Amino acid sequence: MTHPLLYPGKNKLYALEINKVSKIYKNKFQALHEVDFQVKQGDFIGLLGVNGAGKTTLISSIAGINRFDGEIKVMGHDVLSDVVAAKSKLGVVPQEIAFDPFLTVYQTLQFQSGLYGVKNNKRWLDEILAGMHLDDKAHANTRSLSGGMKRRLMVAQALVHKPPVIILDEPTAGVDVEIRKNLWEFISKLHHEGHTILLTTHYLEEVEKLCNQIVMIDKGKIIAKSSKNELIAQSSDLPVTFEIETNEGQIAGSLAQLVIGKEANKSILSVRNNDDILMILTELNKAGIKVDNMNINKPKLEDIFLKYLGR
């Protein structure tokens, strides 16, 4: 069964097309250099980059806020020449928090619905509020909300018109762990229902858990784009570490050349494969050293990202 958000018979229609997009500001700073990638319907994309890499400029361009050179399409609609249709397919959660301080939470969502010409959507608004854990604040004034609640309301506001494409720009910045967990549960639900999602975040564990595609941007240029699994597979030359905790940090003399770090009673050793790990445990046993705890650390997305940046 084809999901209602996906377009049957239109396999060549991308959810998002970024074609040779460049952006130069008035001060002659070039924020984007021929950025080029496509997002398939139903993908969950992680857009990674350090501060100033061009992520927010790109998102502003997709949202039709920035003028730029090149072409951007949302569900086949050009964001500059077909603005209304493109925006109807797109929901953007920006970093900045801004609401009318005289409206309640529910009125804010009703007002946003009106901007998109959406009427009689109370059931959907109630579902969004429940998903964002804001249902008990529906009639509270927006200025009375905590920072975390305002962040969740930003997400809710972007979803009032049920956009097939959702862009989240640092949506969990400054919120606590529980709120982050609740937000991602709802976003994951939307993804499983067929929404295409593009996420920027500094929490790389979120990208590892949620995204299936990765795009890396640095100094306005795309430096990597592939599936998450393909990117991780390219980490074969990155070090794997084996952490061993022993009484008073003891370590066999024959293993000294493998030790790359010490933390209290824990020794951190560089290993290449399972044979190295077996050899280390054998040497410790020969030396009569008891292992209290051990842990294998494989390269993470953050390590791969830093490798691409040459850092």
Nearest alpha carbon to residue 179 among 131, 138, 143: 131
Nearest alpha carbon to residue 47 among 162, 202, 196: 202
Question: How confident is the model over 8-12, as a mean pLDDT?
Answer: 51
**CB-based contacts of 201, cutoff 8 Å, min separation 6:** 46, 168, 170, 171, 172, 207
Highest mean pLDDT among 7-16, 159-168, 296-305 belongs to 159-168
Confidence of residue 177 (pLDDT cuts 50, 70, 90): confident
Per the model's pLDDT, the better-predicted residue between 153 and 51 turns out to be: 153
Structure-block tokens of residue 9: 């018979």
Nearest alpha carbon to residue 168 among 240, 219, 236, 94: 94
Confidence of residue 107 (pLDDT cuts 50, 70, 90): very high
Q: Is residue 144 classed as helix, strand or coil in its secondary structure?
A: helix
Nearest alpha carbon to residue 169 among 192, 193, 199, 147: 199
Per the model's pLDDT, the better-predicted residue between 26 and 35 turns out to be: 35
The region that residue 249 occupies, defined by phi over 0 for left and psi between -120 and 50 for alpha, beta otherwise, is: left
Per the model's pLDDT, the better-predicted residue between 229 and 243 turns out to be: 243
| 58: pLDDT strictly greater than 60 | yes
Cα angle for residues 262, 267, 273 (degrees, 5° grid): 130
Q: How, if at all, do strands 77-78 and 90-93 pair?
A: unpaired
Which strands form 30-39's sheet, in the order they lie side by side?
30-39, 16-24, 69-74, 77-78
Question: How confident is the model over 12-33, as a mean pLDDT?
Answer: 93
Distance, CA of 223 to CA of 3 (rounded, Å): 33
Average pLDDT, the chain: 88
Cβ atoms 190, 23 nearer than 8 A: no
The helix-helix angle for 147-158 and 177-192 (nearest 10°) equals: 10
CA atoms in the 13 A half-sphere facing the CB of 226: 13
Question: How confident is the model over 99-112, as a mean pLDDT?
Answer: 93
CA atoms in the 13 A half-sphere facing the CB of 12: 0
Structure-block tokens of residue 186: 């709802």
**CB-based contacts of 113, cutoff 8 Å, min separation 6:** 119, 121, 125, 160, 161
Highest mean pLDDT among 88-92, 99-103, 257-261 belongs to 88-92
What pLDDT digit, counting tens, does each position of 196-240 carry?
999 998 877 888 889 999 999 999 999 989 888 887 777 666 778
- pLDDT at position 308 is 74
Per-residue HEC secondary structure of 74-113 comes to ECCEECCCCHHHHHHCEEEECCCCCCCCCCEHHHHHHHHH
Length of the chain equals 311
- pLDDT at position 240 is 81
- pLDDT at position 2 is 41
| 10: pLDDT strictly greater than 50 | no
Question: How confident is the model over 55-60, as a mean pLDDT?
Answer: 94
Alpha-carbon torsion 131, 135, 137, 141, what sign?
Answer: positive
- pLDDT at position 158 is 94
Cβ atoms 211, 228 nearer than 8 A: yes
Instruction: Please give the backbone phi and psi of residue 110, each rounded to the nearest 5 degrees, phi first.
Output: -65, -40
